[in-house]
Amino acid sequence: NAGVMQNPRHLVRRRGQEARLRCSPMKGHSHVYWYRQLPEEGLKFMVYLQKENIIDESGMPKERFSAEFPKEGPSILRIQQVVRGDSAAYFCASSPQSFNEKLFFGSGTQLSVL
Amino acid sequence: KNEVEQSPQNLTAQEGEFITINCSYSVGISALHWLQQHPGGGIVSLFMLSSGKKKHGRLIATINIQEKHSSLHITASHPRDSAVYICAVPNSGGGADGLTFGKGTHLIIQP
C-alpha cells in the first residue's frame, strides 16, 4: 500500500507563474489536508478537503490560492501568480475516515520562487 | 482558535538519556498528535491520543485532558532520534478542521 504521494518533490517557478502541487492520498483515504512550512517556521494549516468538497479553507490565503480534490485523481493545490513569499515546503496529509484519525504525510513539495 | 506551546525549543542530550518534551494547548480537544520531522524534511505521525498513555518502542506519549497538557518521552535515546518533534491539536478543539502546530522541539542526541 503506497503512502501519500506528492509531486513534484521540487518545483521552481518565476514570479507571476502558476504552481500546481499534487497529492495522491493513501488508498482508501478520503480526507486530505494541505499544510505549509515557511523557512524557519512551523507548519501552518491551509485547507481540509474531502472528495469533491472543501471542508475548511480558513488557513488558505483568499487570493491566488485554490485547492480541489476531485472524485477521480489527486488533490491539487494551485497557486496563481506566485511571489517570492510563496517559497515554502507544502505538505499534504491524508486520513481514512475523519479528522480524528492518525494522519499520514507525504514527503512534501519544496516550492522555490525566483 | 487553539494555541500550542512546546518546550523546550531546543534540546541536546547524550546517547542513552531519558528525554521529555512538553506540549500545552489552550482549548479542550478531542485528540492530540505527536509528529516527527527528520532533517530531510519528511514528517511521520508518531502518536494520536485522546486520553491516558500510548507506547511504541522507546517512545511514550501521555496526555492530561484536564490540564490540557501532553508529554512525549524517549527512553534510551539514540542519535537516530535526532529530529524535530511537533505537537499538534485541532484548530478549534474537536471540530472538523485542520491542525494547529507547536513550533517544534529540535532534539539532538550526541553519541
Tens digit of each residue's pLDDT (9 = 90 or more) over B86-103: 999 887 755 556 788 999
Q: Is the model's pLDDT at A96 over the cut of 90? A: no
In a mutational test of the B interface, the residue from A9, A33, A44, A45 whose CB has the highest number of chain B CBs within 10 Å is A45
Dist CA B43 CA A99 (whole Å): 17
Contact A103 B45 (CB under 8 A): yes
The tens digit of pLDDT for each residue in B60-80 reads 999 999 999 999 999 999 999
Dist CA B111 CA A83 (whole Å): 42
Nearest CB to B97; choose among A91, A99, A105: A99
Nearest CB to A45; choose among B94, B96, B99: B99
Dist CA B43 CA B99 (whole Å): 14
Chain-centre distance of CA B65, in angstroms?
Answer: 15
DSSP states of A55-74 as a string?
EE-TTS-SSSEEEE--SSS-
State how far residue B14 is from chain A, nearest Cα, in angstroms.
Answer: 25
Mean pLDDT of A102-110: 91
Contact B98 A102 (CB under 8 A): no
Which amino acid makes up residue B110? Q
Q: What percent of chain A has pLDDT over 90?
A: 69
pLDDT bucket at A99, cuts 50 / 70 / 90: low
On whether any CB of chain A is under 8 Å from the CB of B33, the answer is yes
| H/E stretch holding A34 | strand A31-37
**Sheet strands (E) in B1-111:** 4-7, 10-14, 19-25, 32-37, 43-49, 52-56, 59-64, 69-74, 83-90, 99-101, 105-110
Chain-centre distance of CA B83, in angstroms?
Answer: 11
What 3-state class would DSSP assign to A86? helix
> Do A24 and A107 meet the contact criterion of CB atoms below 8 Å apart?
no
Other beta carbons within 10 angstroms of residue A106's beta carbon come to: 26
Other beta carbons within 10 angstroms of residue A6's beta carbon come to: 23
pLDDT, residue A39, reads 79
Nearest CB to A89; choose among B41, B90, B94: B41
On whether any CB of chain A is under 8 Å from the CB of B83, the answer is no
pLDDT, residue B97, reads 64
Contact B45 A89 (CB under 8 A): no
Task: Tell me the chain B residues in contact with residue A55 when contact means C-beta distances shorter than 8 Å.
Answer: 96-97
The tens digit of pLDDT for each residue in B6-63 reads 999 999 999 999 999 999 998 877 789 999 998 877 899 999 998 999 999 999 999 9
